Amino acid sequence: MAETKYIFVTGGVASSLGKGIISSSIGKLLQARGYNITIQKFDPYINIDPGTLNPYEHGECYVTIDGQETDLDLGHYERFTGIQTTKANNITTGRIYQSVIEKERRGDYLGKTIQVIPHITDEIKRNMKILSLKGNFDFVITEIGGTVGDIEGLPFLEAIRQLKWELGRNAVCVHLTYVPYLKAAGELKTKPTQHSVKELQRLGIQPDILVLRAEHELSANLMAKVANFCNVDKDCVVQSLDLPTIYEVPIKMQEQGLDAAILRKLDMPVGETPGLGPWRSFLERRHNATGEVHIALVGKYDLQDAYKSILESLSQAGTYNGRKVITHFVNSEKLTAADVEEKLKDMDGIVVCPGFGQRGIEGKILAAQYTREHDIPTFGICLGMQMMVVEFARNVLGYKDANSREMDATTQHNVIDIMEAQKNITNMGGTMRLGGYECIVEAGSTTHDAYATCENRNENYVREEGGRLIITERHRHRYEFNNDFKTQFEQHGMACVGINPESDLVEIVEVPANRWHVGTQFHPEYSSTVLKPHPLFLSFVKAAIERADNR
């Protein structure tokens, strides 16, 4: 077996430059050349995982198939490459320290003073290499969170310095920086990039490749100047401009030879440039999808990153349905009986968003009632599904006090309840039902139809066995549909069409009388990828388009 090659992706000057997208694009381009790749992210913050982080601080929490709550960049990795990530693909300072401290308590380092160097850096290095021991990877791409110069990032950069030294031609560093445009001077400024590279050099790391993020086209001269000042080969400097969609980034990076530069730096044959056919046809479809379909996201956060995977899933589904999805944030905390009609009547479909806690749930319930009564395509995800169930219990079953145990611990009509196994848990972090669980989908349901008719199904989570459709979707929740009420729901028009074969828990509810009223306890948005969009999103957007066209 050939040796694994390591690509480190660091960032400088500012955050939010799109390191995750660059890492994903590198992964995509190498994958297109037939290599086995994996992408991992090392986050310098002290939380063990981002599970307890507020989406306002850190955006959505992405969940891997094996149940790790991770950074949202892992969502990009999966959407770009179609390769599932795992717990080992996202490591934080917290996890590194936790494991070092556990070892110290066990006595593994008896007699030694535990220090950042070498103990923390050794643990980081061990984790950086772990995936290559587990899988047969040609490339392990490691993105480092934060920006060069952050105090908490230092041990990670020291680990990279050591690894680069040890691995020689088997490791490269790709550094992403920013080239601002000063309007008053009418000039692009490379000084911040030079400083950021100097900072890396001061830490003993010579970047091999520079990706310059800019809002204005950079001239060849300017790029040559950067190369010269930063000790980087001329053909190892590429630019990354704003694009209509992040999915064009791999194409632009390939055009400038980013993957070829990486291969050269790693002493690997460059060979022919792959055509990226399926990727290009996705982009072409996206470009041609000009008609609009309007989807409301009913939730308590009105920021893009909080519902990242849902937005991407919707937009992918739009592309495959030949439409452009326009999303509208409808703040569920501000939604009232007086304005729900005004806010939702012109929507072609609504997503009742996931979430935790009281805030905004009454708005979600109102929205679900309005769309059920007006037969507007509705997709409830996790808490969204739970609120669809509560709405149905209140307004159809007539239980005015119906609620989830999460919101009301004393209600007699706890149609959503805490699982027995979760009752005695007191820790907040990592204690939910997390990751992939199987579910059998009932034939004849909207959901079954969605999965069964999808041409381009993903075997990672859909299979047929003995004539039954079995899906394995990802979860992140504590509360569940209360089976004590199941018969009543079914008798009154809410069908439980997805059941976990092991625990008998209800995973999917539908109102069959409506054209598309589906709630899933799981999060399908984590599984939708560019080349294999999720069947439920495809089917939901299709239903929304039908409504749009019939209005």
Catalytic residue positions, numbered: 382, 523, 525
Residue 479 binds ligand GLN, judged by CB under 6 A: yes
Residue 355 binds ligand GLN, judged by CB under 6 A: yes
Question: Among residues 59 and 355, whose Cβ is nearest to ligand GLN?
Answer: 355
The Cα–Cα gap between 90 and 430 comes to: 14
Which residues ranging from 271 to 290 are in contact with ligand GLN (CB under 6 A)? none
Secondary structure (3-state) at 175: strand
Contact of 8 with 124, CB cutoff 8 Å:
no
The Cα–Cα gap between 82 and 39 comes to: 11
Q: Give the closest residue to 80 by CA, choosing from 544, 490, 533, 530.
A: 530
- Laid out side by side, the sheet with 139-144 consists of 90-92, 37-43, 139-144, 5-11, 171-179, 209-214, 237-241
Question: Among residues 61 and 157, whose Cβ is nearest to ligand GLN?
Answer: 61
Question: Among residues 354 and 524, whose Cβ is nearest to ligand GLN?
Answer: 354
User: What letter does residue 429 receive in the DSSP assignment?
Assistant: T
Residue 308 binds ligand GLN, judged by CB under 6 A: no
Min CB(354)–ligand GLN separation in Å = 3
From 134-142, 306-314, 332-340, 473-481, span contacting ligand GLN (CB under 6 A): 473-481
Residue 230 binds ligand GLN, judged by CB under 6 A: no
The Cα–Cα gap between 109 and 139 comes to: 32
Secondary structure (3-state) at 74: helix
Min CB(337)–ligand GLN separation in Å = 23
From the list 382, 397, 471, 511, which residue makes contact with ligand GLN (rule: CB under 6 A)?
382
Query: Letter for the amino acid at 50?
Result: P
Task: Please count the residues of this chain forming the interface with ligand GLN, following the rule CB under 6 A.
Answer: 10
Stretch 154-193: interaction string toward ligand GLN, x if CB under 6 A: ----------------------------------------
Query: Letter for the amino acid at 107?
Result: G
Min CB(476)–ligand GLN separation in Å = 5
The pair of structure tokens assigned to 444 is: 């004849």
Contact of 309 with 60, CB cutoff 8 Å:
yes
Question: Among residues 349 and 380, whose Cβ is nearest to ligand GLN?
Answer: 380
The pair of structure tokens assigned to 269 is: 């044959």
Residue 28 binds ligand GLN, judged by CB under 6 A: no
Calculated CA dihedral for residues 383, 389, 390, 393, nearest 10 degrees: 180
Q: Give the closest residue to 130 by CA, choosing from 140, 121, 138.
A: 140
**Strand 378-381 and strand 414-418: pairing?**
unpaired
The pair of structure tokens assigned to 238 is: 């590429």
Query: Letter for the amino acid at 542?
Result: K
Min CB(422)–ligand GLN separation in Å = 9
Residue 383 binds ligand GLN, judged by CB under 6 A: yes
Min CB(466)–ligand GLN separation in Å = 31
Q: Which residues pair with 90 in a beta bridge?
A: 41
Question: Among residues 418 and 452, whose Cβ is nearest to ligand GLN?
Answer: 418
Question: Among residues 79 and 478, whose Cβ is nearest to ligand GLN?
Answer: 478
Min CB(406)–ligand GLN separation in Å = 5
Residue 477 binds ligand GLN, judged by CB under 6 A: yes
Residue 356 binds ligand GLN, judged by CB under 6 A: yes
Question: Among residues 17 and 518, whose Cβ is nearest to ligand GLN?
Answer: 518
From 20-28, 52-60, 349-357, 531-539, span contacting ligand GLN (CB under 6 A): 349-357
From the list 95, 372, 476, 547, which residue makes contact with ligand GLN (rule: CB under 6 A)?
476
Min CB(404)–ligand GLN separation in Å = 7
The Cα–Cα gap between 317 and 303 comes to: 20
Which residues ranging from 96 to 125 are in contact with ligand GLN (CB under 6 A)? none
From 34-42, 208-216, 350-358, 391-399, span contacting ligand GLN (CB under 6 A): 350-358
Contact of 385 with 354, CB cutoff 8 Å:
no
Distances 344 to 90, 394, 452 between C-alpha atoms, Å:
38, 21, 30
Min CB(64)–ligand GLN separation in Å = 15
DSSP line for 256-270 = TTHHHHHHHHTT---
Within 13 A of 105's CA, how many CA atoms are on the CB side? 6
From 26-34, 100-108, 348-356, 391-399, span contacting ligand GLN (CB under 6 A): 348-356
Question: Among residues 207 and 380, whose Cβ is nearest to ligand GLN?
Answer: 380
Residue 35 binds ligand GLN, judged by CB under 6 A: no
Which residues ranging from 396 to 455 are in contact with ligand GLN (CB under 6 A)? 406
Q: Give the closest residue to 94 by CA, choosing from 47, 144, 138, 133.
A: 47
Secondary structure (3-state) at 507: strand
- ∠ CA 57-367-483, rounded to 5°: 90
Residue 478 binds ligand GLN, judged by CB under 6 A: yes
Residue 380 binds ligand GLN, judged by CB under 6 A: no
Question: Among residues 28 and 476, whose Cβ is nearest to ligand GLN?
Answer: 476
Question: Among residues 76 and 476, whose Cβ is nearest to ligand GLN?
Answer: 476
Residue 217 zone, left/alpha/beta (φ > 0; ψ -120 to 50; rest): beta
From the list 354, 380, 519, 535, which residue makes contact with ligand GLN (rule: CB under 6 A)?
354
Min CB(300)–ligand GLN separation in Å = 11
The pair of structure tokens assigned to 384 is: 């969204």
Min CB(306)–ligand GLN separation in Å = 12
Distances 162 to 19, 158, 206, 536 between C-alpha atoms, Å:
22, 6, 12, 46
Residues that bind ligand GLN (CB under 6 A): 354-356, 382-383, 406, 476-479
